[in-house]
A and B are shown apart, each in its own frame.
Chain A
Amino acid sequence: MPDETPNEIPEMSMTGKSNRGVPLSLVWLVPLFAVGIALFIAWQTYAARGPVIKVSFAEATGVIAGQTVLKYRSLNVGMVEEMTFSDDLSAVIAHIRVDKDIAKYLDADTEFWIVQPEVSARGVSGLDTVLSGSYIQGSWDTDIGTPQNTFIGKENAPLAPPDKKGIVIRLRAEQGGRIQDGAPVVYRGVTVGEIDTPKLALDGTGVTAHAFINAPYDKLVNSNSRFWGSGGFSVAVGPSGLSLNVANLASIIQGGVTFESVVTGGRAIETGHMFTVFTDKETAEKSVFEEVNVEALTYSTIFAGAVGGLEMGAAVVLGGVNVGQVTDIGAYIDRDNNDGGDVMLRVDFALQPRRLGLENDPEGNNLRDFISEAIAGGMHAQLANESLISSALRIELQTDPDTDQSPGALDTGSGPYPIIPSLPVDLNDLSASAEGILDRVAALPIEELIANAVNIVGGIDRLINSPGVQNAPASAVALMDSAQGKVAAFDPAPLMTALEATAIDLRSLVAEVGSEDNRALVTSSLTQLNSLMGELENSAKVLPDLINSAKNVADEAAALELQALVDHLTETVTAIQTIASGPEIQAIPGEIQGLIADARGLVASPAVLGVPDQVQEALASVQAIVDQVQSSEGVTALIASLEQLEKITNSVSATVDGLPELRTQVSALLDKADALDIETLVASANTTVASVETLIASPETQALPGDVRRLIADTRVIIGSDAVQALPADLADTLASVQTLLTQFEDSKGVDSLIAALNRVDTISADIAATTAGLPQLREQVSDLLAKVDALPIEEVVTSTDAVLQSAQTLLGSEDTAALPASLSGALDEVTLVLSDLRAGGTVENVNATLASASEAAAALAAAADTLPALTAQLNGLISDAEALMATYGSRSPFNAQSISALNDIRAAARAVTDLSRAIERNPSSLIRGR
């Protein structure tokens, strides 16, 4: 277009020309703005960017560049940017970009370690790293030091991170069993610290480990602290039975140490102080007194005469407490002595102030003051035996008030050490005492004693040689067999239960007997008795009247014609004397003597000698029964009886109340008797006596002594017979049977029966009480009776009595009476027959059988005891199993391995989820299409 000129169209001139004429577009602000933002961000990023530090690790377990973070107090403060090897390939180096505001704290105290999941006996730690992966944990103090760029990472989490307050100590033990990695340090049951990984000492003589005590408990550790291994099982069998102590689970698996400050006054310790771990608490506490203490002060003392038995290291004792030890012993000859020189023994010993409970001070002034005061108070040093049986010596510092030694003085000038005054060596006390004892023993009347003993032994010998005793062992054996059988079948459990129940019953019974009610009962009974006595006293006051009446009666009697009666009696006696003086009667004593001799022989027989023992055993059985009764309801019945007794007493008391009246009636009765016609009666009696005389004088009666003599002879024959001789043995057997019976009775319901009987007694007492309740009534009836008697025609009675006496006379004179002696003889024959029957017996076999059963019982008991070792073995096996079980929870154990593999599985699962999410991320349509 040639005609086209810029001037044709004004707009063309603007646009057609070059753009230089056009003003700048506002759009240019957009790229400027973008560049500005970019520059700002770049500057800000650069300004905020911290330095890169290099941390070297032995292994980069789980550390991934660009992902693994550095954490401080669980907050991200950096990121691993790169992982490289060190030049010699001995380590991997993590290049960590740390935050700028943190970088200044990273000085020489900084520590890094890799946190991984860990399963141990104390629990699971680092579980969050299972899913998120490992991270690097940093720890540093809050002081700003010289920043550092290169660090060496720890293999494990450090025991004492720089930001943790506390103190690090070192532990040394002979065995590493109790000090394990991570094991707790326990103070009074509270975990106050932790043990680091133990290491063998370089010389192989022990195990050392660092331990960290957390603040504020680090103040509990001082130079006097003692450590000992804690935890685990401890089984002890002692007088109190089997005791099994089990510590907490972590202690069982991991061990751990416990510490205590055994004595006060320890110094503060510095980091790294070495402590010895003892096997147990006792050893640890004892060690305090065995250590060589540098604070000890040395003293001397001098003994006259060389004494063997004192050695270096021997104890110095004050008041029974070990306060020091002998450090040096030297003998020298005291040439100043006028005797030309005695051997003197100088002993140096170190005293430790803290064992005397004194405050520690560098100069030891406290101890010096203490010793000076003690010496002024009479303290001396003395040699003494270590023990009764040992010849070793020790030094005792003692202040004996009984000694006549005046207080000595501390000699500070004559030796290298102050010299404590000593008492003379006096070690012969014991032998002197022993000698005195021997003298007294020698003065004893041993000969007489022996003679008596010989006699006793002879008697015992005879007794033992008797057949009964000879048979006893066999019977005892059989008894043991029987007991064995019993015991074998014996189940102790019910017995124990019964015993326990019995004890409870007994206690409640005693409480019941001692209760208020019963005491009140006794008290009231006593009160009644008291009043009864008062009544009786009142009655006694009127007795003189009664006596007067009786006296009147006697006067009347004295006036009777008694002389004739006496004469008759005299004749009768004479006749009896005649009979007695007869040859038959004279022969009776001989017979009786022989009888007694036979009886003595019988009694002296061995069988009888065995009887007392039997009786004693029987008594033991009875005693057992009584015990049962006592522990049963018998006492209750007794109390009931007491109550009844009280009622009876009341009744009697009421009866006594009426006694004066009765007395009056009796008095009246006596008055009537006084008025009786006794004379006639006496005459009849006289006649009767005469008849008796006639009877005695009769030939039949004369023959009676002969019969008696024959009877005695027969008896003697019976006693002398083998049957009667065998009777004691049978009696012994019978007693044994009785004993058995008593035992059975004891075992059986006998006691219950007895209790029932006591209850019956109680009932009877109640009946009696009811009866006595009727006593006043009875008394009235008696009174009535007496009144009736009073009203009776006594004369007729006397007449009747007279008639009776006459009849008796007739009877005595009859032939039947004469035949009576013959009948008596026949009866004696019957007795003889009965005695011969008594020989029958056969219970010995039964006793033997019983003894055999007891023996079997004992054997069964022995067999039961044999199973005890097996039981102990089983218990041992059980504990072994428990230990094996605990061992399976160790660090290299299958449990741990399985836990770690489980964690690995979880990690794998997490990775799978990660892969899934990435797949979704890259292929979003799969979410929609379901593929």
Chain B
Amino acid sequence: MAHDVQVLTARNAGLIACRHCGSVWPGDQTRCGLCNSPLRSRMPQSLQNVWAWWLAGVIAYIPANLYPMMSTNTLGTEYASTIVGGVIDLIHHHAVFVAVVVFFASVCIPVSKFLAIAWLATALRRRPEDIPTHRLHQVHTIVEFIGRWSMIDVFVVAILSALVQISFVVTIHPGIAAVSFALSVGFTMMSALSLDPRLIYDAAERAKNA
């Protein structure tokens, strides 16, 4: 259905759009007349950057799950738990809703983001004929939207570390996983941002031409 629609891209029209201010300039213009940013019809290393950030995010996500998210020191007793361990503890304590929220935010969203970005990048490279163009757009939009919600665990740790510092009775310190997780989220956001959505048009064109 989508490939039946005739799409006129800016490049086909001999124009070039500025990604910063959205103004359109003639194709031979190298700099935006409004904001003086460089004008590119397509980001030249977009897919490379996507894969590089994606890989860094995945690497950072490994220690984020292996190491404790935060350590609780209660009357001299040190207690540390990882993300998944914390979720299991919460289920044991019958806090199922909180467990579901934490699991969704800390496991499901990052993992689905990795999968979605990887799928998008692969789809653009392979030029799949049967994938509708607007589906790619939908996935890209969703990934960009939910990226910010992945930081909920990091926020919890940050708030608790700041609030719960009752020196001897109980103190909470962020663990290695908190930093790793924050980095991982940041990397995946960078990865999503690096994906030039205009490549989708090219993919659609190629599919059409094919």
A921 CB-CB contact with B under 8 Å:
yes
Q: How far is the CA of A1 from the CA of B160 in the complex (A)?
A: 58
Are the C-beta atoms of B59 and A35 separated by less than 8 Å? yes
- For A27, the chain B residues whose CB sits under 8 A away are 45, 48-49, 52-53, 190, 194
A19 to B75, alpha carbons, bound, how many Å?
A: 58
A9, A14, A128, A917: most-surrounded residue (chain B CB, <10 A)? A917
Pick the contact of B52: A28, A910, A914 (CB < 8 A): A28
A71 to chain B, nearest CB (A): 13
A366 interfacial contact with B, CB 8 Å: no
Q: Mark B158-192, 1 if CB is under 8 A from A, else 0.
A: 01100110000110100000000001000100100
Contacts of B160 in A (CB 8 A): 920-921, 924
CA distance A133 to B56 in the complex (A): 41
Verify B11–A918 contact, CB threshold 8 A.
Answer: no
User: Are A34 and B59 within 8 A (Cβ)?
Assistant: yes
Q: In whole angstroms, how far apart are the Cα atoms of A35 and B63 in the complex?
A: 11
CB of A58 within 8 Å of the partner chain: no
Return chain A residues, CB-CB under 8 Å to B170.
Answer: 913, 916-917, 920
- For residues 312 through 351 of chain A, which have their beta carbon under 8 Å from a beta carbon of chain B? none
Chain A positions within 8 Å of B53 at CB level:
27, 30-31
**Is the CB–CB distance between B76 and A132 below 8 Å?**
yes
Partner of B56, one of A30, A128, A923, A927: A30
Tell which of B17-25, B90-98, B130-138 binds the partner: B90-98
Q: In the complex where A27-B52, A31-B55, A924-B160 touch, is A131 in contact with B75 (Cβ < 8 A)? A: yes
Of the residues A12, A132, A916, contact of B41 by C-beta under 8 Å: A12
A22 to B52, CA, bound (A): 15
User: How many angstroms from the CA of A910 to the CA of B73 in the assembled complex?
Assistant: 12
Chain A positions within 8 Å of B70 at CB level: 921
Q: Are B59 and A914 in contact (CB under 8 A)?
A: no
Residue B144 at the chain A interface, CB threshold 8 Å: no
Q: Which residue of B lies closest to A21 (CB)?
A: B44
Chain B residue contacts of A916, Cβ below 8 A? 170
Q: Report B-chain residues with C-beta under 8 Å of the C-beta of A910.
A: 74-75, 77
Expressed in whole angstroms, the Cα–Cα distance for A24 and B48 within the complex equals: 7
Q: Cβ of B14 and Cβ of A914 under 8 Å apart?
A: no
Alpha-carbon gap, A382 to B149, bound state (A)? 113
Whether B163 pairs with A16 at a CB distance below 8 angstroms is: no
State which of B95, B164, B169 has its C-beta within 8 Å of the C-beta of A913: B169
CA distance A905 to B95 in the complex (A): 28
CB pair A22–B59 under 8 Å, yes or no, is: no
Within 8 Å CB of A11, what residues of B?
11, 16, 27, 40-42
Smallest CB gap from A927: residue in B: B163
Q: Is the interface of A mostly helix, strand, loop or mixed?
A: helix
Residues of B within 8 A of A28 (CB): 48, 52
Binary contact readout A892-925 vs B (1 if CB under 8 angstroms, 0 otherwise): 0000000000000000001001101111111110
Which one of B74, B76, B202 lies within 8 Å of A16 (CB-CB)?
B202
Chain B contacts for A33, CB-based, 8 A: 56
The reply to whether B75 and A9 contact each other, CB–CB distance below 8 Å, is no
Interface assignment of B79: CB less than 8 Å from any CB of chain A: yes
On whether the beta carbons of B187 and A30 are closer than 8 Å, the reply is yes
Determine the distance from Cα of A916 to Cα of B75 in the docked complex, in whole angstroms: 12
Q: How many A-B residue contacts, CB cutoff 8 Å?
A: 119
Contacts A4-B12, A19-B47, A923-B98 given; indicate if A25 touches B42 (C-beta within 8 A): no
Q: What count of chain A residues pass the 8 Å CB interface test?
A: 39
Q: Are A917 and B48 interface neighbours, CB within 8 A?
A: no
A15 and B42 contacting across the interface, CB-CB below 8 Å: yes
Given contacts A30-B53, A30-B56, A67-B77, whether A15 and B44 have CB atoms under 8 Å apart is yes
Cβ-defined contact, A22 with B169, below 8 A: no
Interface residues on B, range: 35 or more
Chain B residue, CB-CB nearest to A16: B202
Q: How far is the CB of B182 from chain A (nearest CB, A)?
A: 13
Closest to A928 in B: B163
Q: Is B156 an interface residue (CB 8 A)?
A: yes
Q: Which chain B residues lie closer than 8 Å to A924 at the CB level? A: 156, 159-160, 163
Interface centre among A4, A11, A23, A920 (most CB of B within 10 A): A11
**Contact (Cβ within 8 A) B11 A38:** no
Check A131 against B76 for contact (C-beta < 8 Å): yes
Inter-chain contact B11/A12, CB cutoff 8 Å = yes
Query: Restricting to B104-126, which residues have a CB under 8 Å from any CB of A?
Result: none
With a CB–CB cut-off of 8 A, which chain A residues contact B42? 11, 15-16
Q: What residue in chain A is nearest B60 (Cβ atoms)?
A: A34
Instruction: Provide the B1-32 mask, 1 if CB < 8 A to any CB of A, else 0.
Output: 00000000001101010000000000100000
Residue of B nearest to A29 (CB): B52
- Say how far A447's CB is from chain B's closest CB, in angstroms: 105
- A103 → chain B, closest Cβ, in Å? 23
Q: Give Cα A11–Cα B17 distance, bound, in whole angstroms.
A: 13
| Interface residues in B47-70 (C-beta closer than 8 Å to A) | 47-49, 52-53, 55-56, 59-60, 62-63, 70
B209 → A minimal CB distance (Å): 7
Query: Hey, which chain B residues are within 8 Å of A31, CB to CB?
Result: 52-53, 55-56, 59
Interface residues of B in 68-86 (CB under 8 A from A): 70, 72, 74-79, 86
Are B45 and A22 in touch, CB under 8 angstroms?
yes
Distance between Cα atoms of A927 and B77 in the complex (Å): 21
Inter-chain contact B75/A1, CB cutoff 8 Å: no
Interface residues of A in 671-695 (CB under 8 A from B): none
Give the distance in Å from the alpha carbon of A132 to the alpha carbon of B75 in the complex: 7
Cα of A132 to Cα of B12 in the assembled complex, Å: 72
Taking CB as reference atom, which chain B residue is nearest A916? B170
Contact A25-B48, Cβ < 8 Å, known A15-B41, A35-B59, A67-B78: yes
Over the window 37-68 of chain A, the binary record of Cβ atoms lying under 8 Å from chain B Cβ atoms (1 yes, 0 no) is 01000000000000000000000000000010
CB of B79 within 8 A of CB of A922, answer: no
Most central of A15, A22, A132 by chain B CB within 10 Å: A15
Is B205's beta carbon under 8 Å from chain A?
yes
Whether B48 lies near A918 (C-beta < 8 A) is: no
Contact partners of A25 in chain B: CB under 8 A: 45, 48-49, 52
Contacts of B72 in A (CB 8 A): 917-918, 921
Tell whether, in the assembled complex, residue B169 and residue A917 are in contact, meaning their CB atoms are under 8 Å apart: yes
Task: Write out the residue numbers on chain A whose beta carbons fall within 8 Å of the beta carbon of B59.
Answer: 31, 34-35, 38
List A contacts of B159 (CB < 8 A).
Answer: 924
Which has the most chain A C-beta neighbours within 10 Å: B72, B77, B95? B77
Q: How far is the CB of A561 from chain B (nearest CB, A)?
A: 144
Q: In the bound complex, how far is the Cα of B78 from the Cα of A709, in angstroms?
A: 137
B165 → A minimal CB distance (Å): 12
- Closest chain-B Cβ to A48's Cβ sits at a distance in Å of 16
Check if A913 sits within 8 Å of B52, measured CB to CB.
no
Task: Give the docked Cα–Cα distance between A34 and B56 (Å).
Answer: 6
Whether the Cβ atoms of B52 and A9 lie closer than 8 Å is no
Distance (whole angstroms) from the CB of B52 to the closest CB of chain A: 4
Residues of B within 8 A of A923 (CB): 95, 98
Q: Mind listing 10 A-B residue pairs with CB under 8 Å?
A: A15-B43, A15-B44, A16-B42, A34-B59, A34-B60, A913-B169, A917-B170, A919-B93, A921-B164, A924-B156
Give the 5 A-B CB pairs with smallest separation, nearest first. A15-B42, A917-B170, A132-B76, A31-B55, A27-B52
Given A38-B62, A922-B86, 18 new contacts (CB under 8 A): A1-B209, A9-B41, A11-B16, A15-B42, A22-B44, A24-B45, A24-B48, A25-B48, A27-B52, A27-B194, A28-B48, A913-B74, A914-B79, A916-B170, A917-B170, A922-B93, A923-B95, A927-B163
